[in-house]
Each structure stands twice: as C-alpha cells, then as structure tokens.
C-alpha cells in the first residue's frame, strides 16, 4: 500500500510518503489502524474522532477518488493501491 501524506498530514507523521503492508481484505479503516499503531497517539487524535470516524478536516483519496463517494472507511483496498491523506486546518467558528 502506497500512502501519500499531504498538507498538515506530512507534518503530523513526519514524512511525505510511506509504504504500509496490508493483509487481504484490508479497508481504509484497517489502514488507519495500522498508521495509528505506527505513528502513535498524535496520529489517532489528529485524524480520528473518539467514535473512530474521520475528523471533518481529513480527506482520503483511494486511487484519486474520495472515499466519501465510495464506502467511507469501509472502502476496500487492493494490494498496491495508492492512498492520499490530506489534513487541513480545522475551521473555527467565532466572531
């Protein structure tokens, strides 16, 4: 699995790209679990909510397609797939 980290994701994980081994039947959810195990609590807090859903400021593309248009975190991943993860600044309300 080829993972590209874009925007603030690059700063959070400390690299722009990495290869993550996955098992047959892997999903975006299992990829994020593997990344959280690799990169620690800061990764989990930056990308996932307490309910284990993606934070609103996280965009994930699988082969260039948003997982929002696919099956979300349950989107299946083929061996050798290319995944891009974008973390942006979260907008704050106020005034």
Q: pLDDT at position 89, please?
A: 86
CATH at residue 16: 3.10.20.30
Q: What is the mean pLDDT, run by run of 10 residues, along the chain of 95 residues? A: 97 96 94 96 95 96 98 96 94 59
Whether residue 94 is contained in a domain is answered as no
Domain of residue 44: give its range: 2-87
Residue 84 makes CB contacts below 8 A (sequence gap 6+) with: 3, 4, 6, 60, 61, 64
Instruction: Tell me if 92 is assigned to some domain.
Output: no
Residue 28 lies in a domain: yes
Spatial contact of 60 and 85, defined as CB atoms under 8 Å apart: yes
93 in any annotated domain:
no
pLDDT at 90: 72
Q: What is the pTM of this model?
A: 0.91
For residue 89, how many C-alpha atoms fall within 13 Å in the half-sphere facing its CB? 3
Give the count of domains, the chain: 1
Contact 42, 12 (CB under 8 A): yes
* Domain-embedded: residue 63: yes
């Amino acid at each position: 699995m080829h993972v590209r980290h874009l925007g603030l994701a690059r700063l959070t994980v400390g690299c722009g790209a990495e290869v993550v081994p996955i098992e047959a039947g892997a999903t975006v959810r299992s990829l994020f679990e593997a990344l959280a195990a690799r990169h620690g609590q800061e990764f989990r807090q930056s990308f996932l909510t307490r309910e284990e859903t993606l934070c609103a400021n996280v965009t994930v593309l699988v082969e260039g397609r948003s997982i929002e248009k696919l099956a979300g975190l349950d989107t299946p991943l083929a061996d050798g797939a290319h995944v891009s993860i974008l973390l942006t600044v979260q907008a704050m309300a106020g005034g």
